[in-house]
Amino acid sequence: MKPQTHGDRLSFYQFGATTMFASRLDQRFSYCLYVPESYDEHDPGAYSLIVAIHGTGRDAPRLRNEFIEIAEAEQCFVLVPLFPAGIGTPGELNAYKYLAGDDARYDLILLDMVAELEETYLLDFTRFFLTGFSGGGHFTHRFLYVHPERLSGVSIVSPGVVTLADPQREWPAGVGGLEAEFGRPFDGAAVAEVPANLVVGDDDTETWEISVAPGSPAFIPGVNAAGVTRVTRLRALAESLERNGNAVSVDLVPGVAHEGYHLLKPTFRAIRQVLHSARHGSEGETGARE
């Protein structure tokens, strides 16, 4: 970690594993980063970006720390937002998982955090790798549907309720009505360009948190069509993305239940595959600003 010296633009707390910073767009939200040791604010160089989305437990700093080793090995920045519970309504837990609440667009807040990161560190992250566990897996695959042009790849880990890439089902069971919800139509071809890794533990079979019954605010006819357990829902999501034309890999991790930190290896492998492909194919997607 680099100490602050007179004349530098950035402070000690903006290097390495950073402190939490409030979002400039909406200070109810915040984020932390990992900045590789090689980064020099006077000669930024070229880096890729990994964005990791927390689950309902909202353990953003710990989640960031799990990505430090791969960030150093692959020369990536890591951005982990914190979307607190109780935004708008006391005790509310789930709005961020669906990208929008009564008074917040979580997808746009994330995009502005990326823009703030670019401006602060003089980098250009046209596309980034997005991943999330549980509630973060909710966010990840729905963000893919709304903003596919910003993503180089995704790793969707153990979401409880899935949105299928199916225009015949209304949001959030499917992507029907996406434009009415977010002002952007579903672009299946653009979504298909993003490789999708899906991960779940084979013992992740508890249903108490994810059952959606008629009368629930989240219930829409067809919302349970993907099955009730996270395993069956993940498989249905994978099949839906394959039908859409995505390159899909599925990792069913043996002996693991709903335990996100035991499911990271497949995500790291997917990140490395996407980065390798970008560096040996379409270079120029990420790097220093001109």
Mean pLDDT, range 253-272, rounded to an integer: 97
What pLDDT, on a 0 to 100 scale, did the predictor assign at position 222?
Answer: 72
Rounded Cα distance, 96 and 139, in Å: 7
Residues 6 or more apart in contact with residue 137 via CB below 8 angstroms: 53, 55, 156, 157, 158, 159, 160
Helix axes 135-146, 106-121, angle to 10 degrees: 80
Rounded Cα distance, 163 and 171, in Å: 7
Q: What is the pLDDT of residues 15-35, one digit of tens each?
A: 999 999 999 999 999 999 999
Q: Where are the alpha helices (DSSP H) in the chain?
A: 60-66, 68-74, 106-121, 135-146, 178-182, 188-192, 230-244, 264-280
CB 17 within 8 A of CB 32: yes
CB 157 within 8 A of CB 267: yes
260 versus 219: the higher-pLDDT residue is 260
Structure tokens that stand for 99 in this block: 């990208």
What pLDDT, on a 0 to 100 scale, did the predictor assign at position 220?
Answer: 62
Question: For residue 286, is pLDDT > 90?
Answer: no
94 versus 288: the higher-pLDDT residue is 94
Catalogue all structural domains in the chain, each as residue range(s) with its CATH number.
Answer: 12-288 (3.40.50.1820)
Structure tokens that stand for 151 in this block: 């993503």
Q: What is the pLDDT of residues 80-104, one digit of tens each?
A: 999 999 999 999 999 999 999 989 9
Question: For residue 134, is pLDDT > 90?
Answer: yes
Q: What percent of the chain has pLDDT over 70?
A: 92
- What burial letters (b/e) apply to 136-172, b meaning 16+ CB within 10 Å? bbbbbbbbbbbbbebbbbbbbbbbbbbbbbbeebbbb
What pLDDT, on a 0 to 100 scale, did the predictor assign at position 9?
Answer: 87
Name the one residue in this structure whose structure tokens are 């069509």.
225
What pLDDT, on a 0 to 100 scale, did the predictor assign at position 69?
Answer: 98
Question: For residue 284, is pLDDT > 50?
Answer: no
What pLDDT, on a 0 to 100 scale, did the predictor assign at position 217?
Answer: 52
Residue 279, Cβ density class (10 Å: 0-12 exposed, 13-18 middle, ≥19 buried) = middle
* DSSP at 124: E
Q: What is the pLDDT of residues 186-245, one digit of tens each?
A: 999 999 999 999 999 999 998 888 887 787 655 667 767 777 899 999 999 999 999 999
